[in-house]
Structure 1
């Protein structure tokens, strides 16, 4: 079948995803997250900034750094490291197992269509759907933050301890905006490494619940192990660790070595998971 036929089927898969109301629960969860973060920063924002930045002598009020971009960044990590993984696991976990459970998979394959092609079509559609949600989450967080807290000419980005020893980075609004946009697209790509794992599980199970719960469990086990003090040997290879690699976009200079290593590991997770899904699904007895 031609390339145009491939994209036509991707469009059909997208229309199916769009028609399922449960796939928009994540949007409601994200809105609730923004409202709670908004209330928290609005009520205690000044004390939060003073507590975290008071030890540095800026000669200015630390609360001046609390603006729309700061709020958007504050909501970024819980959105893409908690909500989005659950969302992706649900989409990809249902992709094959859900159709098997509903009995529509046998009808589809009865027309002599390639099973490998079906896996690739569904994976592509899931990524595009995830990308749309990622962009929406990024824009909404920025819009809400800017509408409430306004815009500051100086951006202060709080860093975690692993970010090459940096506690914080001062940058211009344009540099902060570039980091924010790059982070949103990085998270959309990194999430699909988990989507590949969920699709692999979806090729094994005959019910979507098993695949979805299995993928979510895998992710949060990685997330928990990442925080253990004795997990140094495995920490660099954990999927959750690599998915949280967008911090590189907030450094004064992009560490290309770290960025390349992150992308290669994500590609390895995605490729191996998809190949396993294709092999298992290709030999599965569809009843």
Structure 2
């Protein structure tokens, strides 16, 4: 069943169209940076954008920082929100559950397909960013420069980039958990997607309010950009660790709620 869900997801043209559109914005930004004099000053604009002009190997991180606040969560919410609700809307969920596999196995297969989409999407964005960065910007053969101003070797930069990719993936798994939970509550994929996005937008807005400072550390979007600290010397692990722990709590709680609801609900479509 897992292989069936994976084939179903990655054989859809819209899956790859979504991934392609996600990469279009970072590519466009890279072209504008390379052909114009519009690069932000250090400390302004998306993280790493000012640094890529002298080291194109940092552009994968700039690409992730560009799509992370909005476009990547939307893509993940759409795919995860459709996981169960899409089957219900299409009238196929009842027939899937008629198989001996059972509801838990079906939900696990849907979850693994969503996780695979998250991993593939983040890796593709980073890979395209790396190719575009090397093509359009200068490359420092000895490695790169940390945000603290010290030099990093090529090996250190590669390891920290992989850690950043993993961190962004974990952050998006939290988004997927929200959307998958809402997908078990409704027969509308759009409703599940909008529900997850509403939570994330509310989290981003509340984070900017002083009145919400008491619970701001627990908002799901609070530590999304903490991967920046992986490129300081030494690495600042505090927010990175908190971000991973927070997303782990959201994932466990929401997937548990999704399982409890899905295994007990009446399926009529």
Contact 2:55-2:138 within 8 A present in 1 as well: yes
Hey, what does 1:286 align to over in structure 2?
A: 267
Inter-partner Cα distance in structure 2 for 1:108 and 1:48: 52
TM-aligned CA deviation for residue 178 of structure 1: 1.9
Inter-partner Cα distance in structure 2 for 1:196 and 1:148: 37
Larger radius of gyration, structure 1 or 2? 1
Question: How many residue pairs were aligned?
Answer: 261
SS of alignment partner, residue 180 of structure 1: helix
Instruction: Indicate the structure with greater helix content.
Output: 1
Shift in alpha-carbon separation, 1:255–1:135, aligned structure 2, 3 A: same
Shift in alpha-carbon separation, 1:119–1:147, aligned structure 2, 3 A: same
TM-aligned CA deviation for residue 78 of structure 1: 1.7
Inter-partner Cα distance in structure 2 for 1:146 and 1:129: 26
Hey, what does 2:202 align to over in structure 1?
A: 221
| TM-score, normalised relative to structure 1 | 0.82
Hey, what does 2:156 align to over in structure 1?
A: 175
TM-aligned CA deviation for residue 10 of structure 1: 1.4
24-33 vs 116-125, which moves further: 24-33
Hey, what does 2:144 align to over in structure 1?
A: 155
Deviations 1:30-60 (A, max 9, x none): 3321232113311345x646x438xxxxxxx
Contact 2:164-2:227 within 8 A present in 1 as well: yes
Q: Please point out which of 250, 257, 262 is paired with 1:269.
A: 250
| TM-score, normalised relative to structure 2 | 0.87
28-37 vs 268-277, which moves further: 28-37
Hey, what does 1:30 align to over in structure 2?
A: 22
Q: Please point out which of 60, 63, 66 is paired with 1:78.
A: 66
SS of alignment partner, residue 150 of structure 1: coil
Deviations 1:80-119 (A, max 9, x none): 3322211110111000100011111100111243212221
TM-aligned CA deviation for residue 138 of structure 1: 0.8
Provide the aligned C-alpha RMSD in A. 2.4
Superposed counterparts of 1:43-62, under 5 Å: 43-45=35-37, 48=39, 51-52=41-42
Q: After TM superposition, what 4+ stretches of structure 1 lie above 4 angstroms from structure 2? A: 62-65
Hey, what does 1:57 align to over in structure 2?
A: none
Contact 1:97-1:202 within 8 A present in 2 as well: yes
TM-aligned CA deviation for residue 65 of structure 1: 5.6
